[in-house]
């Protein structure tokens, strides 16, 4: 056992004396030491219940013969961080979470790990750590929030942001906004639509690192506690069998995750996180393959913000395994892969039927024959741009309009709410990429303002930043190369005609190459927005959005 390095032999007597100080008995030190990585805190709604999840995991580990030991991981609430400097500190925590977990796990020689994340960056950060460490690991998330109810309709956080836009347009009263404010987020848990947190928790199931229900059992259900106990017990089986993350997260598993991503209509942030996780697992996940998978993978779910159904509905319909079972009918999954259940994908999904074809469309009757995410390329995005195709209205799938150019999110929001953006416009927000932001802020405020003001079916938004999973509409993010490194998005001028063709996966600006070269010759890099602290260090190491915004030494 790895923990023998701190618990066995005369040379380890000093180590044992410190375990004595912690109150551990000889019997406990004779058992495998299982690290439980807890993302619990009192500022993130999706994490306020993780203390109960962690206690259940501890019980499961102890019942199965292990010694559970808890240590923390940080977490940022994207919703609270949205629309101000705080959003610069969201994506960047993914690497802090990964690095700090590596430090804790190796410094203390844990034999295996149970990861307990829930919200946006914790899930990919801990999956990255699992792949990097490659010791037996299983995940159990805190679960999704129940949908809110406003005026007899289910609602979620995206509805709240759009309500602010509707108020700015004079379409909603202050009293109505207050009602939304008090009702859209009724319980603890990760926000109730197919936003980034729920996307990544579902993809954790799809990739094989969590038990059935990890992505969909609501946070407030007692079934979630039982799931956590089973995860605690299961880690002892994985340790005994020496099933490690890289045994599970191989190239075919990532292709499975992409297929499920397309079927569910996940957040575009998955196109940042899956390549980053794959990188840590030693797998190159080129985004070009996303369109190949999308071309043959039907979109089966329209969960909020793409439609009127929520995570609780997906859970009742059969969850992620039911979606996978539908995909398997067309042979779209690799089913012989081992997973953290100790079984293969095929064994996991056997008998998992679709219990509500209105929530999970049958594979013979999908929302569309192609997947929920599209990767676009063209002279405006030579490397790539990403759009949640399933959340785009039909009339915006092909769009051409004049560029309205802004060099930061705040200026764009002021123009949108000030009525300066009109039908047909293409809002361009640049210098918000991984390096230029720094931190690649999410643009939920501008997309929600556009939707709330009734412009969602006539205005597009393009950025080298990214979008919340709660964004909907023709919102194209991750445009690479980003403006800060001189990508073409930095050369766009007010009034240039932007051409979007999502069915053909193209994104272009109607400007000749000669003109673009002249503009490029005049372009000068901007001074860094932040020159001290973690963000400055992050900006110096981060790569482009199309590579997952991973960190590399210069």
Residues with a catalytic annotation lie at 468
Q: For 448, how many CA atoms within 13 A lie in the half-sphere containing its CB?
A: 25
Q: Are 64 and 136 in contact (CB under 8 A)?
A: no
Task: Give the phi and the psi of residue 484 in degrees, each rounded to 5.
Answer: -60, -25
Hey, is 498 helix, strand or coil? Answer: strand
What are the Cα distances from residue 330, in Å, to 259, 296, 298, 325, 345?
12, 9, 10, 9, 15
Give the tokens for residue 112: 């295996």
Kindly give the residue spans of alpha helices, DSSP state H, lying in 423-550.
Answer: 444-452, 513-522, 533-541
Diameter over CA atoms, the chain: 76
Task: Give the phi and the psi of residue 445 in degrees, each rounded to 5.
Answer: -60, -50
Q: What distance in Å separates the CA atoms of residue 155 and residue 186, rounded to the nearest whole number? A: 10
Give the tokens for residue 123: 């899930």
> Among 253, 286, 261, which Cα is nearest to 127's?
253
Q: Which residues contact 85 (CB under 8 A, 6 or more apart)?
A: none
Q: What distance in Å separates the CA atoms of residue 541 and residue 554, rounded to the nearest whole number? A: 6
- Concatenated DSSP letters of 51-119: HHHHHHHHHHHHHTT-EEEEEE-----HHHHTTSGGGGGTTTHHHHHHHHHHHHHHHTT-SEEEEE--S
Residue whose pair of structure tokens reads 């039908």 in the numeric block? 423
> Among 482, 480, 499, 492, which Cα is nearest to 519's?
492
Helical packing angle, 93-107 and 270-280, nearest 10°:
30
Hey, is 501 helix, strand or coil? Answer: strand
**Is residue 13 exposed (0-12), middle (13-18) or buried (19+ Cβ within 10 Å)?**
exposed
Q: What distance in Å separates the CA atoms of residue 144 and residue 188, rounded to the nearest whole number? A: 8
- Concatenated DSSP letters of 318-344: THHHHHHHHHHTTT-S--S-B-TTSSB
Rg (CA), the chain: 23
Helical packing angle, 196-207 and 251-264, nearest 10°:
140
| Beta-bridge mates of residue 508 | 499
Kindly give the residue spans of alpha helices, DSSP state H, lying in 242-299.
Answer: 245-248, 251-264, 270-280, 288-296
Kindly give the residue spans of alpha helices, DSSP state H, lying in 477-550.
Answer: 513-522, 533-541
């Amino acid at each position: 056992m790895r923990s023998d390095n701190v618990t066995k032999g005369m040379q380890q007597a000093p180590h044992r004396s410190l375990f004595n100080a912690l109150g551990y008995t000889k019997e406990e030190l004779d058992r495998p030491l299982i690290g439980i990585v807890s993302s619990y805190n009192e500022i993130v709604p999706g994490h306020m219940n993780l203390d109960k999840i962690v206690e259940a995991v501890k019980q499961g580990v102890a019942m199965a013969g292990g010694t559970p030991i808890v240590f923390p991981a940080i977490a940022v609430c994207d919703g609270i961080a949205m629309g101000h400097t705080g959003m610069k500190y969201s994506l960047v925590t993914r690497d802090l979470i990964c690095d700090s977990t590596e430090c804790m796990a190796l410094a203390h020689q844990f034999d295996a790990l149970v990861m307990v994340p829930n919200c946006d960056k914790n899930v990919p950060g801990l999956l990255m750590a699992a792949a990097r460490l490659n010791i037996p690991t299983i995940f159990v998330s805190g679960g999704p929030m129940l949908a809110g109810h406003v005026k007899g309709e289910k609602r979620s956080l995206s509805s709240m942001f759009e309500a602010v836009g509707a108020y700015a347009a004079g379409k909603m009263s202050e009293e109505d906004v207050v009602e939304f404010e008090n009702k859209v987020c009724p319980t603890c848990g990760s926000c109730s639509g197919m936003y980034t947190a729920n996307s990544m928790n579902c993809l954790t199931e799809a990739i094989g690192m969590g038990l059935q229900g990890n992505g969909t059992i609501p946070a407030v259900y007692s079934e979630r506690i039982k799931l956590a106990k089973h995860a605690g017990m299961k880690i002892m089986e994985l340790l005994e069998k020496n099933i490690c993350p890289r045994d599970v997260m191989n190239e075919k598993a990532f292709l499975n995750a992409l297929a499920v991503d397309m079927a569910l209509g996940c957040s575009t942030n998955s196109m940042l996180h899956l390549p980053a996780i794959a990188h840590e697992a030693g797998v190159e996940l080129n985004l070009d393959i996303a369109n190949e998978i999308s071309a043959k993978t039907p979109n089966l779910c329209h969960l909020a913000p793409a439609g009127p159904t929520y995570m609780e509905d997906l859970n009742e319909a059969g969850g992620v395994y039911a979606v996978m079972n539908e995909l398997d009918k067309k042979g779209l999954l690799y089913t012989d892969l081992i997973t953290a259940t100790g079984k293969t994908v095929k064994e996991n999904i056997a008998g998992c039927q679709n219990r509500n074809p209105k929530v999970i469309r049958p594979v013979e009757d999908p929302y569309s024959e192609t997947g929920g995410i599209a990767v676009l390329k063209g002279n405006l995005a030579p490397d790539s741009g990403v759009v949640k195709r399933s959340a785009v209205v039909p009339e915006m799938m092909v769009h051409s309009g004049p560029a309205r150019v802004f060099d930061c999110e705040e200026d764009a929001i002021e123009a949108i709410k000030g009525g300066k953006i009109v039908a047909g416009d293409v809002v361009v927000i640049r210098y918000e990429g991984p390096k230029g932001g720094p931190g690649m802020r999410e643009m939920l405020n501008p997309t929600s303002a556009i939707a709330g003001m009734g412009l969602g079916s006539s205005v597009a938004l393009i950025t080298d930043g990214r979008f919340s999973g709660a964004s909907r509409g023709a919102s194209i993010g991750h445009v690479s190369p980003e403006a800060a490194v001189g990508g073409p998005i930095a050369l766009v001028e007010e009034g240039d005609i932007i051409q979007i063709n999502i069915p053909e996966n193209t994104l272009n600006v109607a400007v000749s190459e000669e003109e673009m070269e002249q503009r490029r010759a005049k372009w000068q890099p901007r001074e860094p927005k932040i020159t001290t602290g973690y963000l400055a260090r992050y900006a110096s190491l981060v790569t482009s959005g199309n590579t997952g915004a991973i960190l590399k030494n210069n």
